Amino acid sequence: MTFHSMWAELLPIGRSSASGGYRRFAWTEADADCRAWFEQQARGRGLAYETDRNGNQWAWLGDPARGDAVVTGSHLDSVPDGGAFDGPLGVVSAFAALDELRRRGARFTKPLGIVNFGDEEGARFGLACVGSRLTAGALTVEQAHRLTDAEGITLPQAMEAAGYDPDAIGADPHRLDRIGAFVELHVEQGRALDLSGDRIGIAGAIWPHGRWRFDFRGEANHAGTTRLADRRDPMLSYAQTVLAARREAELAGAVATFGKIAVEPNGVNAVPSLVRGWLDSRAADQESLDAVVGGVKKAAREYAAAHGVDLDVERESFTPVVEFDHALRDELARILATGTDLTVPVLGTGAGHDAGILSGRVPTAMLFVRNPTGVSHSPAEFAAEDDCVAGVTALADALEGLACT
């Protein structure tokens, strides 16, 4: 199995023939096919394979009970119409790096783990990193059991339908005790490496970020016969709030996105009764993020009042700022600088990752692979094969430096 052949095997799973984008949502058939692929790769390499109580998949070389395993991996699920690299590049590179180390005759002095964290994107149930949050104790069983998708299917129902026990989920401290270091390789979701001309980067920090649901409730009515003065139209308040979010983000040097909307009754010839919009906002520091979200909420309240519309806002997902482990970050930089002629810049990112959720509980680090356009969460997401191969080499060097004599 080469990087290329693994990539080719995974590529068609959950891919839309119309857009070329992916729809690998938690506990769906595409997710099951990705999981089957992971298990096949693990067993095909003679690794001990297991799925943990939260549905995360693990493949072990050596005995993780030693407590100092070096673990690598990422996620296989996607956003709606996502790209091929976000997540899978880290999982495929993990197996390819192990193959490379075996070719080098590397002697492992620590256990090695490869992981696929479930439901990282939160595309179906709205919360990012469900698998790693549950395992890290950053999400309670009650909170997880309340998660519901757009069709009204709860997370427990979806897990059960996929053959998993939703009553078994929960914090897994003993599993985290097995991990001495976690290194996640990920396609860069930005252009820093393209602009610097480097193939590989190391993550310094992840911006604080979250997701807020804005419910604007007005009055359904006939689009053709209702006088403008008589309307309580929630779409107007929503539209003004979207523009306010852009203004607030520009003021704070942050980002804010209303990328998902649900309208009831969603008829061309009906004034809506409900407009539900989801805000994703991220900033370099908590104070800036609070300023953006506070400003958007204030504007939304004013616009709702002006149109006689009711407003509810609920925070559905939040991840505080992540500062990756400095010692591990610097160790990786040292290893990569000596192993190859790579200069390896340290990058900040606004993208969330399972490594961010584990950070603070176990030493974590991330390696980024150059993305020439920076585009992500889109079928256009891309990384050149030679950069991906450079990523495998860098990951193999890192794992060798951390887990082998």
Residue 113 touches which member of ligand HGY, Mn ion, none, C-beta under 5-8 Å by kind: none
In the complex, minimum distance from the CB of residue 352 to ligand HGY, in angstroms, rounded to a whole number: 4
100 binds ligand HGY (CB under 6 A): no
248 binds ligand HGY (CB under 6 A): no
Residue 87 touches which member of Mn ion, ligand HGY, none, C-beta under 5-8 Å by kind: Mn ion
User: Applying CB under 6 A, which of residues 77, 100, 121, 188 lies at the interface with ligand HGY?
Assistant: 121
Instruction: Estimate the crossing angle of helix 234-252 against helix 286-306, to 10 degrees.
Output: 150
- Residue 48: Cβ within 10 Å count: 15
In the complex, minimum distance from the CB of residue 304 to Mn ion, in angstroms, rounded to a whole number: 31
Between strands 112-117 and 322-323, the pairing is: unpaired
120 binds ligand HGY (CB under 6 A): yes
Site string for ligand HGY, 349-368 (x = CB under 6 A): --xx----------------
Beta bridge partners of 214: 277, 313
Rounded Cα distance, 216 and 213, in Å: 10
Of 64 and 122, the one with the shorter C-beta distance to ligand HGY is 122
Both tokens of 137, joined, read: 């104790």
In the complex, minimum distance from the CB of residue 104 to Mn ion, in angstroms, rounded to a whole number: 28
Contact 79, 123 (CB under 8 A): yes
Rounded Cα distance, 216 and 308, in Å: 10
Of 304 and 322, the one with the shorter C-beta distance to Mn ion is 322
119 binds ligand HGY (CB under 6 A): no
233 binds ligand HGY (CB under 6 A): no
Rounded Cα distance, 404 and 104, in Å: 11
- Compute CA 241 distance to the chain's CA centroid, rounded to the nearest angstrom: 26
Contact 222, 337 (CB under 8 A): no
User: Applying CB under 6 A, which of residues 10, 30, 84, 128 lies at the interface with ligand HGY?
Assistant: 128
Stretch that binds ligand HGY, among 14-22, 120-128, 328-336, 393-401 (CB under 6 A): 120-128
Both tokens of 140, joined, read: 């309670």
In the complex, minimum distance from the CB of residue 323 to ligand HGY, in angstroms, rounded to a whole number: 17
- DSSP annotation of 217 reads E
Rounded Cα distance, 371 and 200, in Å: 10
Of 2 and 286, the one with the shorter C-beta distance to ligand HGY is 286
Of 178 and 211, the one with the shorter C-beta distance to ligand HGY is 211
Residue 352 touches which member of Mn ion, ligand HGY, none, C-beta under 5-8 Å by kind: ligand HGY
- Of 332-351, binders to ligand HGY (CB under 6 A) are 351
Which residues lie below 8 Å from residue 257, measured CB to CB, with a gap of 6+? 245, 279, 280, 281
Of 64 and 131, the one with the shorter C-beta distance to ligand HGY is 131
- Of 76-105, binders to Mn ion (CB under 5 A) are 86-87
Which residues lie below 8 Å from residue 187, measured CB to CB, with a gap of 6+? 83, 85, 86, 89, 368, 369, 371, 376, 381, 383
Rounded Cα distance, 285 and 64, in Å: 36
Which chain residues interact with Mn ion by CB under 5 A?
86-87
Which chain residues interact with ligand HGY by CB under 6 A?
120-121, 128, 351-352
